[in-house]
Amino acid sequence: MTTSSAASAGANGGSTWRAQAGGILLAGLGAFAALALVGMLAQETSAPWILGSFGATCVLLFGFPSSPFSQPRNIIGGHVLTSLTGLICLHLFGPGYLGMAIAASAALMLMMLTRTVHPPAGSNPVIIFAAQPGWSFLVLPTMAGAVALVVIGWIYWSVVRRGAWPHRAPR
């Protein structure tokens, strides 16, 4: 899906603008559905399914679904790897800005090394140092929430674009 702003698309003519507006509406609908469903899971189970970086994940998943950063491997792998890195650094270095900076930079390098770069996940070590959660944070909300978003995204794109997501990386 092409993603230029609706204002610039409008300058190209009415039909282009309507196509852009439709794409923007679909992206917003997808993000709404995904976050509402994950929020409902959190409310109904009284478990922490929500992670602050999931809002930005929805921007990529629904606004830019063909981006390499928006693929399941990157979404799940990036979130899990960065949260694990943040938790390890929190326990090794204790709370503080130096440990947080080490965690965030190490998480970035590990995502690049493993080809699981997902920019929203880069905030997970910062979130971990701010909240100082226990090891269970890796499973819930990180892994379970990321998997839920991927499943919801797959269902959504299967219905809306008939199997247009995930995209296969060129070899």
Assess contact for 79 and 121: CB atoms under 8 A. yes
Q: Which two tokens stand for residue 154?
A: 């797959």
pTM score of the predicted model? 0.88
- State how far the Cα of 145 lies from the Cα of 158, in Å rounded to an integer: 20
The per-residue pLDDT of the chain, averaged, comes to 91
Rg over alpha carbons for the chain, rounded to the nearest Å, is 17
- State how far the Cα of 79 lies from the Cα of 74, in Å rounded to an integer: 8
Residue 160's alpha-carbon distances to 15, 28, 42, 115, 165, in angstroms, are 20, 13, 26, 28, 10
Q: Range with the lowest mean pLDDT among 2-16, 37-51, 57-71? A: 2-16
- State how far the Cα of 75 lies from the Cα of 51, in Å rounded to an integer: 13
**Runs of H (alpha helix) within the chain:** 6-11, 14-45, 54-58, 72-93, 97-114, 124-131, 144-160
Judge whether residue 9 has pLDDT over 50.
no
Q: Spell out the domain ranges in the chain.
A: 12-160
User: Tell me, what amino acid is at 95?
Assistant: P
Q: Range with the lowest mean pLDDT among 15-24, 72-81, 123-132, 138-147? A: 15-24
CA 163 from chain centre, in angstroms, equals 20
User: Tell me, what amino acid is at 105?
Assistant: S
Tokens 């247009």 label which residue?
164
Residues 15-57 have pLDDT tens digits of: 788 779 999 999 999 999 999 999 999 999 999 999 999 999 9
* Residues 101-116, mean pLDDT to the nearest whole number: 98
Judge whether residue 98 has pLDDT over 90.
yes
Residues 6+ apart with CB under 8 A from 81: 107, 110, 111, 114, 116, 121
